[in-house]
Amino acid sequence: MNFSRLDWTVLVFTLLLIIVYGVYRSRTSKNLEGYLLSDRQLPWWLVLLSIMGTQASAITFLTVPGQAYSEGMRFVQYYFGLPLAMVVICIIFVPVFHRLKVFTAYEYLEQRFDVKTRLLTSFLFLLSRGLSTGISIIAPSLVLHSMLGWDMTFTTLFMGGLLIIYTVSGGAKAVAYTQQLQIIIIYAAMFIAAWWAIKMLPAGIGITEALHVGGKSGKLNVITSGVTEHGFDWKDRYNIWSGVIGGFFLALSYFGTDQSQVGRYLTARSEQESKLGLLMNGLAKVPLQFGILLIGVLIFAFYQFTKEPAYFNLAQERTLRQSVNAGEFAAAEKKYLQVQDEKRKTAMALGNALKQDDATKVNQLRTQLQQEQQQATQVRDSIKNIVKKTIPGSDGNDTNYIFLRFVGDFLPNGLVGLIIAIIFLASWSSIAAALHALASCTMIDFHKRLSKTPTTPLREYRWSQAYALIWGIFCVVVAQFSYNLGNSLVEAVNILGSWFYGTILGVFLVAIFMKRVGGNAVFFGAILAEAVVISVYSLDLLSFLWLNLVGAAAVLLFSGLLQVTFFSKSSKVEPRVAIKK
Amino acid sequence: MPPVEKERIPVFKKWRYWYWLVIGFLLFLIVLFYLFTKHFA
């Protein structure tokens, strides 16, 4: 890939701009309130951008367009439960957190139950967030490895190191202000990338024809029911039901009980402004995600009129060409180019037929295009199998590389640098928030709660910085083991979250709605629920989005049962804190 | 226990309007996406 001097200039300038701006805005009180919560002084729009920046990691911008390219746009349904969850969180969670002036969501659980329940949920959060942040760190390293040929380990250490310095030195205020700038740059750059894909379409093919080609190849499957000829497919990952129901519980858990998000809206100057930030996020998320996926479809459409790589991972492609299976790969690639040639002719003919409004011809060409697309998919699958048997540890999945390959091959100098920069910005944006959340929980829920030594606000501030540093190192180490994760990175992170989110959400729901359940019942109920979630996942009984619902429901059920059977006398049955509904 | 302040709801007077807004918005998007899928399929 040609990474020109102009690209380097744009990349370095953009990263420096963020770091300088972050340092400039990082002046805050040197105590826990200042470092972890920005003195609770931020306006709602900054909270909104901070929430969006925390959720939209580099993975979002790397792999989501690739997912639309390979599987179509149905991934957008994953976010359908989010808007409603935002309203519920504003009614149930936000007032409690603000009234109790907590630093972490889990502090509330001690006030409601006991210290062991608080520590258990905080531990589950630390475990899931620590691991998923490690996976997130690998995303920008993949960019440099694949496009510039940099060593993965070196790249991860280099990027993680920069991130740690920036995160540890800046406070929550710096995180929020840099996220504001990052989100603006990111969406502007993605819009330019989409515009460029449309601009490069051949003469006579506009955005409408491009969308028709994408749609007729099955890539605009935004709404899917999950129903097959054998009934509802519970293992289907993305459909309207798993999105609305499973996605609702996932969003409820992520925004209501995950400290990396709770920590963002606790920085608001008032309860009202926290709520407004969350509600606006609920309205904006689905259209924005739709836009990112649409970029993937436009890239797919663009490749129907030009030479499409048979395999998008440039580094692995090079290895393949020098391996013992090079001949087999070359034969498969030749076959792919032949199918592609046919597809190109059909796509051009389809574009012309659409312009002439010839319905009969359009129908005939649609069927032909679908058949050719099936052939292309089969050949690509055979190439993935060659990759799997040639490169040990690889799963042959090139979804993460589709967008990057397009950027590297077709975008002009300068814009390539900007796209690489936004990958870093998005990564920093979410990881900085996560590291702060991990440091907050370790400091507040464990260190401060369990330590018996009196200390000063300045020492607490220094300890928080030390924990951010330790978690940063932990995440970089995890990243070293995440390179060859099955499926795309975004799914790996989501699956990991679904293992724990349901259980954590269940504990909070018991706290708020089941006032007769005490600490012992919910503690053991949560442990049993976690065992159920892991069993359901291991036995492959349900798609991962349903695990959120299973985990939450299991905690409610087990806690209720344990309370009325084993702990009816031993546990306190009234909450220490009145919850306003 | 800290004193309970009167809860303020952003923009609207009652939470039910927010429910209606987000459910309506979501339904609008779902219908729009469905028509989008159908139109280009």
pLDDT value of residue B7: 67
| A99–B contact, CB cutoff 8 A | yes
A358 φψ region: left (φ > 0), alpha (ψ -120 to 50), beta (else): beta
Query: Are residues A156 and A282 located together in one domain of the fold?
Result: yes
Q: Average pLDDT in the A343-362 region?
A: 86
The parent domain of residue A115 ranges over 5-304+409-447+457-476
Distance from CA of A554 to the nearest CA of B (A): 27
Query: Are residues A226 and A349 located together in one domain of the fold?
Result: no
Query: Are residues A43 and A189 located together in one domain of the fold?
Result: yes
The whole-angstrom separation of Cα A455 and Cα A31 is: 11
Provide the residue count of chain B: 41
Find chain B residues with C-beta within 8 A of A95's C-beta. 7
Cβ-defined contact of A283 to B1 (cutoff 8 Å) = no
Please report whether residue B1 resides in a domain.
Answer: no
Identify the closest residue of chain B to A283 by CA–CA distance. B22
Domain holding A159: CATH number?
1.20.1730.10
Query: Are residues A83 and A192 located together in one domain of the fold?
Result: yes
| Closest in B5, B10, B41 to A276, CB measured | B10
Residue A268 above 60 pLDDT?
yes
Q: Average pLDDT in the A234-262 region?
A: 86
Tens-digit pLDDT profile for residues A110-151: 999 999 999 999 999 999 889 888 887 877 777 677 767 777
Identify the closest residue of chain A to B3 by CA–CA distance. A99
Query: Are residues A131 and A226 located together in one domain of the fold?
Result: yes
Q: Is A329 helix (H, G, I), strand (E, B) or coil?
A: helix
Please report whether residue A496 resides in a domain.
Answer: no
Tens-digit pLDDT profile for residues A17-64: 887 887 777 777 788 888 888 888 899 999 999 999 898 877 777 788
Distance from CA of A498 to the nearest CA of B (A): 23
| DSSP line for A374-442 | HHHHHHHHHHHHHHHHHSTT-----GGGHHHHHHHHHSPTTHHHHHHHHHHHHHHHHHHHHHHHHHHHI
State the count of interchain CB pairs (< 8 A) between A and B: 74
Query: Are residues A184 and A67 located together in one domain of the fold?
Result: yes
Residue A492 above 80 pLDDT?
no
Closest by CA to A214, choosing from A58, A391, A369, A56, is A369
In percent, how much of chain A has pLDDT > 90?
A: 34
What would the two tokens of residue A393 be?
Answer: 């540890």
Q: How many domains does chain B have?
A: 1
Please report whether residue A360 resides in a domain.
Answer: yes
Q: How many domains does chain A have?
A: 2
pTM of the prediction? 0.85
Please report whether residue B5 resides in a domain.
Answer: no
Residue A491 above 70 pLDDT?
no
Identify the closest residue of chain B to A91 by CA–CA distance. B15
Please report whether residue B3 resides in a domain.
Answer: no
Distances A475 to A143, A175, A257, A329 between C-alpha atoms, Å: 18, 18, 21, 36
Query: Are residues A246 and A352 located together in one domain of the fold?
Result: no
Please report whether residue A82 resides in a domain.
Answer: yes
Query: Are residues A294 and A329 located together in one domain of the fold?
Result: no
Please report whether residue A286 resides in a domain.
Answer: yes
Read off the amino acid at residue B9: I
Q: Average pLDDT in the B8-35 region?
A: 92
Please report whether residue B40 resides in a domain.
Answer: yes
Q: Average pLDDT in the A381-394 region?
A: 86
Please report whether residue B2 resides in a domain.
Answer: no
Please report whether residue A346 resides in a domain.
Answer: yes
Query: Are residues A147 and A258 located together in one domain of the fold?
Result: yes
What is the rounded average pLDDT for all residues in chain A?
A: 86
Please report whether residue A526 resides in a domain.
Answer: no
| A575–B contact, CB cutoff 8 A | no
Please report whether residue B8 resides in a domain.
Answer: no
Please report whether residue B7 resides in a domain.
Answer: no
Query: Are residues A202 and A332 located together in one domain of the fold?
Result: no
Cβ-defined contact of A271 to B36 (cutoff 8 Å) = no
Query: Are residues A21 and A95 located together in one domain of the fold?
Result: yes
pLDDT value of residue A76: 92
Q: Average pLDDT in the B9-23 region?
A: 91
Residue A253 above 50 pLDDT?
yes
The parent domain of residue B29 ranges over 13-41
**Pairing mode, if any, of strands A227-228 and A231-232?**
antiparallel
**Banded pLDDT at B6 (limits 50, 70, 90):** low
Query: Are residues A281 and A154 located together in one domain of the fold?
Result: yes
Strand partners, A228: A231
Please report whether residue B18 resides in a domain.
Answer: yes
Please report whether residue A527 resides in a domain.
Answer: no
ipTM confidence score = 0.88
Identify the closest residue of chain B to A580 by CA–CA distance. B4
pLDDT value of residue A490: 61
Residue A226 above 70 pLDDT?
yes
Residue A566 above 60 pLDDT?
yes
| A221–B contact, CB cutoff 8 A | yes
Tens-digit pLDDT profile for residues A304-338: 888 888 898 888 888 889 999 899 999 999 999 99
Strand partners, A491: none
Of residues A30 and A410, the one with the higher pLDDT is: A410
